[in-house]
């Protein structure tokens, strides 16, 4: 379905980003990976799906590096047809103890990076398909873009902001073939959440298994993690023809978290 399309997924060396990159590659999209840590493993996994894959090491907190990445992607593949703004970090502390430097980093990586990548991707998306425009922008927000939790001020502010940016992007392109939507997962067991499980286990002197149960039990009625594969399938749907008129939606996949 996505043959001859190019998808750039920020923060795709691990977790949800890698899951979405693999799902889009399985539909034939060429992939631009980004993120820190191991690059060879993710590159090999995606190459095995028979598509072209490349990598750019942009630090998503730095606008100049984001510009460089978008130029690199356009030079390599001609155009970024699908942009998945996924890179994100977390910091957990009460507001009075929240380090100002961590606030700036969370806002830069979880929110401002999506603005920069989007503004740079839009002109080519709008010119695609003989001037009719075709593009998909998918913002990885969170259930924390819809509701709050204590001790996550920067993350909750960034994710609410990202849903606002999603709506504006959708509206500004509503008469074109470019859509923009947000995906809002509940708990997904990735390195980002494993750190929170480990901190809970250490703070309470309980096992990792007990900490995991508590974490799910506090917020997620299904008592189940959402998986990167399920999120990848939702991204594929948004890129499909059936997603042509899905615009400005914040779609939670959260085991009932926000329904409470
Ligand atoms: P993760 O820690 O597994 O992956 C984050 C990715 O972002 C990694 O590839 C990392 O290298 C990259 N990254 C971090 N800082 C970066 C930077 N400055 N520049 C470039 N890349 C950077 O996390 P994840 O759980 O897969 O999270 C992915 C997205 O999903 C985030 O936006 C997160 O907020 C969101 N999310 C996660 C959950 C969850 O439960 N895991 C729930 C809701 C939303």
Over its length of 260 residues, how does the chain's per-residue pLDDT go in tens digits? 999 999 999 999 999 999 999 999 999 999 999 999 999 999 999 999 999 999 999 999 999 999 999 999 999 999 999 999 999 999 999 999 999 999 999 999 999 999 999 999 999 999 999 999 999 999 999 999 999 999 999 999 999 999 999 999 999 999 999 999 999 999 999 988 999 899 999 999 999 999 999 999 999 999 999 999 999 999 999 999 999 999 999 999 999 999 99
Looking at the fold, whether 96 and 201 belong to one and the same domain comes out as no
Domain of residue 202: give its range.
189-225
Is 58 within a domain? yes
| End-to-end Cα spacing for the chain | 36
The domain spanning residue 42 has which CATH number?
3.40.50.720
Find out whether 163 and 182 touch, Cβ atoms under 8 Å: yes
Q: Is the CB of 88 under 6 A from ligand 1?
A: yes
Q: What pTM, to 2 d.p., does this model score?
A: 0.97
Looking at the fold, whether 52 and 125 belong to one and the same domain comes out as yes
Q: Is the CB of 139 under 6 A from ligand 1?
A: no
Residue range 105-152, pLDDT digits in tens: 999 999 999 999 999 999 999 999 999 999 999 999 999 999 999 999
CA-nearest residue for atom 32, ligand 1, is 88
Looking at the fold, whether 28 and 143 belong to one and the same domain comes out as yes
Q: Is the CB of 188 under 6 A from ligand 1?
A: yes
Find out whether 191 and 14 touch, Cβ atoms under 8 Å: yes
Looking at the fold, whether 158 and 194 belong to one and the same domain comes out as no
Looking at the fold, whether 76 and 193 belong to one and the same domain comes out as no
Q: Which atom of ligand 1 is nearest to the CA of 16?
A: 26
Looking at the fold, whether 117 and 134 belong to one and the same domain comes out as yes
Q: Name which of 227, 249, 255 is nearest 183 in CA terms.
A: 249
Q: Which atom of ligand 1 is nearest to the CA of 143?
A: 43
Phi, psi dihedral angles at 34 (to 5 degrees): -155, 155
Looking at the fold, whether 147 and 198 belong to one and the same domain comes out as no
Q: How many domains does the chain have?
A: 2
Looking at the fold, whether 57 and 152 belong to one and the same domain comes out as yes
**Rounded mean pLDDT of the chain?**
97
Residue range 141-153, pLDDT digits in tens: 999 999 999 999 9
Rounded Cα distance, 109 and 33, in Å: 16
Looking at the fold, whether 72 and 156 belong to one and the same domain comes out as yes
Looking at the fold, whether 50 and 108 belong to one and the same domain comes out as yes
Looking at the fold, whether 101 and 193 belong to one and the same domain comes out as no
Given this model, what pLDDT does residue 192 score? Answer: 84
Of 134, 155, 187, 225, which one is the catalytic site residue? 155
Residue range 73-89, pLDDT digits in tens: 999 999 999 999 999 99
Is 1 within a domain? no
Q: Is the CB of 14 under 6 A from ligand 1?
A: yes
Note if 155 is an active site residue.
Answer: yes
């Amino acid at each position: 379905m996505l043959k001859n399309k190019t998808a750039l997924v920020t923060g795709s060396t691990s977790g949800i980003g890698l899951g979405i990159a693999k799902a889009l590659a399985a539909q034939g999209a060429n992939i631009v990976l980004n993120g820190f840590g191991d690059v060879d493993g993710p590159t090999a996994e995606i190459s095995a799906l028979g598509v072209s894959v490349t990598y750019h090491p942009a630090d998503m907190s730095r606008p100049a590096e984001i510009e460089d990445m978008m130029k690199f992607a356009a030079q390599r593949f001609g155009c970024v047809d699908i942009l998945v703004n996924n890179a994100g970090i977390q910091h957990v502390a009460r507001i009075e103890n929240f380090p100002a430097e961590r606030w700036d980093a969370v806002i830069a990586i979880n929110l401002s990076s999506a603005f920069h990548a989007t503004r740079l991707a839009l002109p080519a998306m709008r010119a695609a398909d003989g001037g009719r425009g075709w593009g998909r922008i998918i913002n990885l927000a969170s259930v924390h873009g819809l509701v709050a939790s204590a001790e996550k001020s920067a993350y909750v502010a960034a994710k609410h902001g990202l849903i606002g940016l999603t709506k504006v992007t959708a509206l500004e392109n509503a008469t074109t073939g470019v859509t923009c939507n947000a995906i809002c997962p509940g708990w997904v067991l990735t390195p980002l959440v494993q750190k929170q499980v480990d901190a809970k286990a250490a703070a309470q002197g309980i096992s990792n298994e007990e900490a995991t149960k508590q974490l799910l039990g506090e917020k997620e009625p299904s008592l189940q993690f959402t998986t990167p594969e399920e999120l990848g399938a939702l991204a594929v749907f948004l890129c499909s023809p059936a997603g042509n008129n899905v615009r400005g939606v914040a779609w939670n996949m959260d085991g009932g978290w926000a329904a409470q």
